[in-house]
Amino acid sequence: MLVGALLMPAAVARAQVPSLTIYSSVDEENARKILGAFSRATGIETRITFLSTGPALARMEAERANPQADVWFGAPSENHVDAKIRGLTQPYKSPNAAPLDARFRDPEGYWTSFYMNPLGAGLNTKVLESRGIKRPVSWQDLLNPLLRGLIQMPSPQTSGTAYNMVVTLVQIMGEDKAFAYMKQLHPNVQTYTTSGTAPSRAVAFGEVAIGIQFTPALYQLYFRGYPLLTIFPKEGVGFEAPAISIIKGTRREAEARRLVDWMILPEGQDTLAAQETFFFPVTRQAKRQVGLPALQLVPLINYDVDFAGKNRQRLVTRWVNEILGGR
């Protein structure tokens, strides 16, 4: 009986440790860095399941009546607009969000962005040189027939990164011209990957010449010694502003709110540089990591998050029918 009595307080203490169950669409390496820092700062444990955008939305939809997670962490903010429209998330206006640019927060508090990254193309300079292919500088240059089967990009069916590219092209060219462009690009695409970050590894290892995605992994691999050059097509690029949403019906609302609050405090924002994520912070006071270009040098378009969120299903369906259907 004495042994049981001695063990009970420890068991109770373990049960009382605050925790969060998180669906993360941030890549595993960086999510563990960021959420590890959050846990050390707050004492809140995190249990993480890694899901790309499409599977994360599908999981939340399937669990709508009995949510199994508390927070959706990451994925470009237009996908959080989609989750809001579907009624999968609940609002929380963090007091720390007031200074954020309007592009980085939902006016009703359903999502809050905590970093941003531009869309870019990673070039394997050795592969291009060995094949005598001129380095591209524009979206049009990617149609070069010498690049046939030498480009990787994610699939909009599963990846918020790829959907961001679709919307970027629609905003730059107009919808019909953008889809005509993607049909022309199609023969040059070796693989449409499930994950938004997979092209960076393929281009770093020389499996393809070009990988299209958001920039963090491209910079990480360059600083690890791979022959990569990141370019921004001169016609303009979209950007992601990955967000946090609190899943509707969470039983850990206080802990979920604390994660939202912490991520946009100076401590949370400076973690992005301290942990070498190669993410751009969303607050002006935060430190920018050494090696990242100044944002004014990147040809960012005025990316329309509301349009992207409201038209996701329609544009992805059109992409499947007109681009994949042409294979």
For the stretch 226-260, pLDDT in tens is 999 999 999 999 998 999 999 999 999 999 999 99
Of the given ranges (25-29, 83-87, 92-96, 295-299), which has the lowest mean pLDDT?
295-299
Give the pLDDT band (50/70/90) at residue 103.
confident
Residue 29 lies in a domain: yes
Percent of the chain with pLDDT over 90: 80
Match 């939902």 to its residue by tokens. 106
Q: Are residues 28 and 96 in the same domain?
A: yes
Q: Are residues 68 and 143 in the same domain?
A: no
Comparison of pLDDT for 168 and 326, the residue scoring more: 168
Q: What is the CATH number of the domain that holds 59?
A: 3.40.190.10
The answer to whether 299 touches 239, Cβ cutoff 8 Å, is: no
Of the given ranges (6-20, 28-42, 105-119, 173-187), which has the lowest mean pLDDT?
6-20
The answer to whether 50 touches 216, Cβ cutoff 8 Å, is: no
Residue 299 lies in a domain: no
Closest alpha carbon to 52 in 207, 242, 323:
242
Domain that holds residue 48: 2-116+241-292
Q: Are residues 276 and 311 in the same domain?
A: no
Give the pLDDT band (50/70/90) at residue 297.
confident
Residue 300 lies in a domain: no
Q: Are residues 55 and 142 in the same domain?
A: no
Cα 23 from Cα 239, distance rounded (Å): 22
Burial bucket for residue 214 (CB in 10 Å: 0-12, 13-18, 19+): buried
Q: Are residues 176 and 314 in the same domain?
A: yes
pLDDT tens by residue, 117-148: 999 999 999 999 999 999 999 999 999 999 99
pLDDT, average across residues 197-224: 96
Q: Are residues 17 and 109 in the same domain?
A: yes
Residue 43 lies in a domain: yes
Q: Are residues 162 and 232 in the same domain?
A: yes
pLDDT, average across residues 277-304: 88
Please give the pLDDT value at position 15: 54
The structure tokens listed for 185 are 């690009």
Residue 298 lies in a domain: no
Q: Are residues 136 and 208 in the same domain?
A: yes
Q: Are residues 17 and 27 in the same domain?
A: yes
Is residue 11 predicted with pLDDT exceeding 60? no
Match 């909009």 to its residue by tokens. 156
Is residue 12 predicted with pLDDT exceeding 70? no
Please give the pLDDT value at position 9: 53
Quote the number of domains for the chain. 2
The answer to whether 78 touches 164, Cβ cutoff 8 Å, is: yes
Residue 15 lies in a domain: yes
Residues 6+ apart with CB under 8 A from 4: none
Give the pLDDT band (50/70/90) at residue 208.
very high
Q: Are residues 171 and 309 in the same domain?
A: yes
- pTM, rounded to two decimals: 0.78
Q: Are residues 9 and 42 in the same domain?
A: yes
Q: Are residues 173 and 314 in the same domain?
A: yes
Is residue 6 predicted with pLDDT exceeding 60? no
